[in-house]
Amino acid sequence: MNAHVGKDRHVIDFTEQAERVVVLTRQGCHLCDEAIAQVAAVCAETGQAYGVVDVDSDPELQRRYTDQVPVTFVDGAQHDFWRVDPVRLRAALMRGH
């Protein structure tokens, strides 16, 4: 997985990630498990796909986001960290890309 940080430092190009929603996680993170469950539920409702990326798999992601995991991205832009607000996520997905 390659991640390219955008000029505004909040947009990530997840090369090879076709999903609109990406969750940065790490092993042993209970908040990550909760975030993935929330994302999975909202994506199931809206018909969207999501992907999960281990923050420790990429040095740049680890450097930038290690203290914010889990981090949720929608359409490449950082959306939430630590917790997922399902109402806010649903609204972002309904706006389209």
Q: What pLDDT was estimated at residue 1?
A: 42
Q: Which residue has the higher pLDDT, 96 or 66?
A: 66
Cβ-contact 31, 69 below 8 angstroms: yes
Structural domains for the chain: 2-94 (3.40.30.10)
7: tokens are 């000029």
Q: What pLDDT was estimated at residue 11?
A: 52
CB atoms within 10 A of CB 24: 31
Q: What is the mean pLDDT of residues 52-68?
A: 94
By the 10 Å C-beta count (0-12 exposed, 13-18 middle, 19+ buried), 85 is classed as middle
Q: Which amino acid is at 88?
A: R
